[in-house]
Amino acid sequence: MKTSATAFACLLPLVFGCTDALEPGTKVDSFRVLAQAVDVPYAHPGETVKVTALSVDPRARPITWAWASCLNPNDTSLTSCFERISETGDPEGAVFALGEGLDSVELVVPSDALAEVPVAARAFAGIGVISAACPGDLSLEQGSSGLPFRCEEPGTGRELAADEFIVGIKRVTVRETERNANPSFERVTFDGTDWPAEEIREVGWCDQDDFVYDTCPDTEKHALTATLAPESFEAGTDELGRSFEEQLVIQYYATEGIFEDEVKTGNEPQNGWVARKSASGQTLRLWFVARDSRGGVTWAERQVRVR
């Protein structure tokens, strides 16, 4: 899994997918990994944690995943994690899962994860979890992109370019006793009324080709609110004696349509959304991804039917 730090630095914008500069990042019309969550964002030495990815492929292709880990990288970047893996002298041993459909995996935190970390550096202790998601055949070989993964199209053997598959990194913080809970949604509402996960709402559309929310008629706009539970806003003193108060945001995504804002704060989560005429007759998927400032992540999904 060796590769140059320079190559990875150049490829960092590819993490978790790319979007057309003319379209908002909220539009999910190509293969994307929207988020990754750890069931125990702050893990203890020796524990087993579960990492789950929220991936979307409009073409519904089988996705092959590779997962690798690095202990106590210098920072949270892909470059730093790959460098740490190279330092171990056992790159292939860093890969702990490889196969089709593995969008959720388990990882054991080494029991000695904190043994060689000075107390002054404990704030930065953690595990970097690298994932490669390929809508095809994935092998642990360096591809033309410079990444230590080669992704090929099934049947043709064509190597997929760096913007056709996704490599990302998720941090698992390691602490002796401290915990951080993932945020949770108290309720999701559509125009002020509860919106259960199994309920598909019917909507009209805005007759325009661009993604300008303000120019759409108010009669077709809808207020979407993903309200976080009060306990999601954690605050206190950590095991290192530092006070903290979490900041939370909610990111909004949809297979089509226009959001008023791409991101809202956890304290003011209401967002506006409207479908476009091009989606008439379609069932659209919408996602609400909540993130706290200590690595906690959760998400919810809803659907609408466009008239």
Kindly list the structural domains of the chain, giving each domain's residue range(s) and its CATH number in brackets, ordered by start: 5-174 (2.60.40.1940), 185-306 (2.60.40)
- Separation in Å, CA 121 to CA 28, 108, 126: 39, 22, 11
Going by C-alpha positions, the residue among 216, 299, 289, 227 that lies closest to residue 259 is 216
**pLDDT digits over 17-29, tens only?**
444 446 899 999 9
Residue 144's pLDDT is: 87
Position 50 scores a pLDDT of 98
Q: Which residues contact 32 (CB under 8 A, 6 or more apart)?
A: 16, 17, 55, 56, 57, 166, 253
**Closest among 64, 63, 54, 56 to 30, alpha carbons compared:** 56
CA-wise closest residue to 289 among 180, 182, 193: 182
Residues of the chain with pLDDT under 50: 1-21
Note the pTM of the prediction, 2 decimals.
Answer: 0.91
pLDDT at 145: 82
Q: Each residue of 191-214: b (16+ CB within 10 Å) or e?
A: eeeebeeeeeeebbbbeeeeeebe
What is the per-residue pLDDT for 14? 39
Q: How far apart are CA 304 and CA 201, in angstroms?
A: 5
